[in-house]
Structure 1
Amino acid sequence: MTNKTAHNGDVQLAYETFGAPGGEPLLLIMGLDFQMVYWPDGLCHALAARGFHVARFDNRDAGLSTHFSSPEPENPFRVLLRGSRKPAYTGADMVADGLAVMDALGWNSAHLCGASMGTGLALATAVLHPQRVRTVTTVMGGPAGKINMLRYVKFGVFPRFARIKHPDTDEGAIQTLVDMIRLLSSPHHPFEQEWARSVAEVSHARAPRDPSTTQRQTAAGLNLGAAARRLGEITAPTLIINGADDPLIRPSAGTALARRIPGARSVVYPRMGHILPEHVWTTMADAMAAQAGLTADDRSR
């Protein structure tokens, strides 16, 4: 895939597409501290095969998009619980980034799919810019907003992340990413070692992980303001997907989110953690295509 660049003011946003340009526009919004390559290529191709024109992009502060710096390091637990003292950017800025990618593609509106933190960004877009959203799919997320979301976080996984230690080398950085993916995966499904290693290598080669990005994106994602309290205004059809074995977000978060959005449907996929394993790609692509109203005729075009 060839990377292209969209602009939101001074911020450059790297993106790439799958499928025919005339397909139903679908924007994939990745989660906290992960690059767009964590949307598996196989899933993107499956969505394209069902009639979507798929775009995935690097959020600001990740991958090949514009990176930021923090005035001073902060304890990540403080950021999670209280927010950043001096945020480098806001959740509204990240919502505007997604719209900038859509603008670069000439999309007046699109189907949105957000993963993890991207869930909140997709929902905020549907609240603040309803005319630009056709449908919403959320994956591995829950009710937007700091107070609402924190009650569904499994804090026990964070000490396990902290225990991941490898030498300060390229290989050590790659192995750290592999170990993180392993922790986020379902214990009831074989670990996809080959994919984890491949995406870790690609991610590290594109832009080595910066732990301070986690702090900045956490602060932005947890402070979406009034949008987090206005989920009841969403009119776009909404599909909510969670993993039964998610080590980070309780599956009940999906049900709680569905209660806040009129007509939303919540499903829980077995043997799925906080990652998108290959065995859910077909089910997920079919569900998203059905919600978008795509038929077999759309796939043959």
Structure 2
Amino acid sequence: MTDPTTDQVKQVTVGDVKIAYECFGDRADPPLLLVMGLATQMLGWDERFCARLADHGFHVIRFDNRDVGLSTHLADAGVPDLGALVSGDPTAAPPPYTLLDMARDVDGLLDALGLDSAHVVGASMGGMIAQQLAIGHAHRVRSLTSIMSTTSRDVGAARPEAMAALFLPPPTDADTAAERALDVYRVIGSPGYPLDEVRLAEVARRAFARGHDAAGVARQFAAIVVSPDRTPGLRALDVPTLVIHGEDDPLVQVDGGRATADAVPGARLVVVAGMGHNLPEPLWAQLVDEIVAHARAAEETREGVSPPTR
């Protein structure tokens, strides 16, 4: 593998928000867009993971969703009443956006980058966003890879200890951000693989410095809560779809992955033993191989486009 080569982080305006993004690899290669999950900045896609994908002949793009990192934080929208939204209280004020709006951000990002379409890979909430993008904007999605995600918050629901980990007190500085990340991933991480605590703490400190915002995370969570079941839309998809899920995921249990694969016609499901709700480095070779093979096969079916061979 070559050393990671990245552009400096840039921003584009999409509607009322600015989206920060970063690219890896050759712009002449087929684009592969990585969508990260709840409360997680683009840093959740490790630079070395991105570089591996780029080494296989893809132009890799990672970005910060709205309300995290260097993208726009909707501070004026306030903090949603998550308890009322989760309970379905009809008097609860609606959140400022849903997963549909976050999918529109992705659609707008593709426009801003001059891309008619991309291979789209989403993890956790990012998988939900990627699914919604494929449902609403199928022409933008050359292939869909949904990792550790689900069709609905009610399918593959979190175990109590995993949900409790998400609601630990927010950090107050870089060191408590590192401690909190370790506390969370000791619960939701992959039991079959060692947790790289040094790397995890380093990334958590970087993320805190880039833009910590507990209210923004609450708004993202609210977007998940109020978004409807995507199963009907997924059943109508004609997009090559790969679903990857950890067999031991306590946050989005494996039923979420199975439901996603069952919903999409022709989807392929890969259940990974020992994998929880993270992307441990010992699994990168398998995950990259799966993503690359899936995207290459989709490229082969596109008229007049040859698949990458690297």
Same fold (TM over 0.5): yes
Percent of aligned positions with the same letter in both sequences? 37
Partner of 1:266: 269
What is the distance in 2 between the residues matched to 1:77 and 1:183? 23
Structure 1 equivalent of residue 17 of structure 2? 11
Aligned 8 A contact 2:102 2:129 in 1:
yes
The answer to whether the Cα contact below 8 Å between 1:121 and 1:221 also exists between their aligned partners in 2 is: no
Does the Cα contact within 8 Å between 1:240 and 1:264 map onto a contact in 2? yes
Aligned to 1:196: 200
* Change in 2 beyond 3 A, CA 1:77/1:271: farther
Q: State the match for 2:103 in structure 1.
A: 95
* Residues 1:277 and 2:280 are matched in the alignment: yes
> What is the rounded CA distance, in whole Å, between the counterparts of 2:308 and 2:137 in structure 1?
27
Q: Matched residue of 2:296: which SS? A: coil
Give yes or no for contact 2:35–2:62 (8 Å, CA) kept in 1. Answer: yes
Alignment of 1:252-263 (within 5 A): 252-263=255-266
Counterpart for residue 291 of structure 2: 288
Aligned with residue 240 of structure 1, among 240, 243, 256:
243
Q: Which amino acid in the other structure matches residue 264 of structure 2?
A: I
Query: Tell me, what secondary structure is at the counterpart of 1:121?
Result: helix
- Going from structure 1 to structure 2, the CA distance change for 1:116 and 1:77 (only over 3 Å counts) comes to farther
Aligned residue for 1:274, secondary structure, equals coil
Larger relative contact order (CA 8 Å, sep ≥ 6): 1
Residue 116 of structure 2 corresponds to 108
Change (3 A) 1:81 1:16: farther
Alpha carbons 1:112, 1:136 under 8 Å: kept = yes
Deviation per CA, 1:171-223, whole angstroms, max 9, x where unpaired?
Answer: 22332123223322122321111220121111111112x22223211222344
> Unpaired segments of 5 or more residues in structure 2?
1-5, 301-306
- Give the TM-score normalised by structure 2: 0.87
For residue 173 of structure 1, what is the aligned residue in structure 2? Answer: 177
Q: Residues 1-301 of structure 1: matches in 2 within 5 Å? A: 1=6, 2-69=8-75, 73-82=79-88, 85-143=93-151, 145=152, 149-156=153-160, 157-162=162-167, 164=168, 168-208=172-212, 210-225=213-228, 228-293=231-296, 298-300=308-310
Taking the aligned partners of 2:174 and 2:234, their CA distance within structure 1 comes to 42
1:75 shift after superposition:
4.7
Deviation of the 1:170 alpha carbon: 3.3
- Normalized against structure 1, the TM-score is what? 0.89
Q: 8 Å contact 1:113–1:119 — kept in the other structure?
A: yes
Amino acid at match of 1:87: P
Equivalenced residue count is: 294
Distance 1:134 1:77, change over 3 A: same
The one-letter amino acid paired with 2:107 is L
**Conserved? CA contact 1:130–1:234, under 8 Å:** yes
Can you list the C-alpha shifts for 1:111-162, whole angstroms capped at 9, x where unaligned? Answer: 101110111111111111111111000011011x4xxx32311241223444
Matched-pair contact (CA < 8 Å) for 1:152–1:252: yes
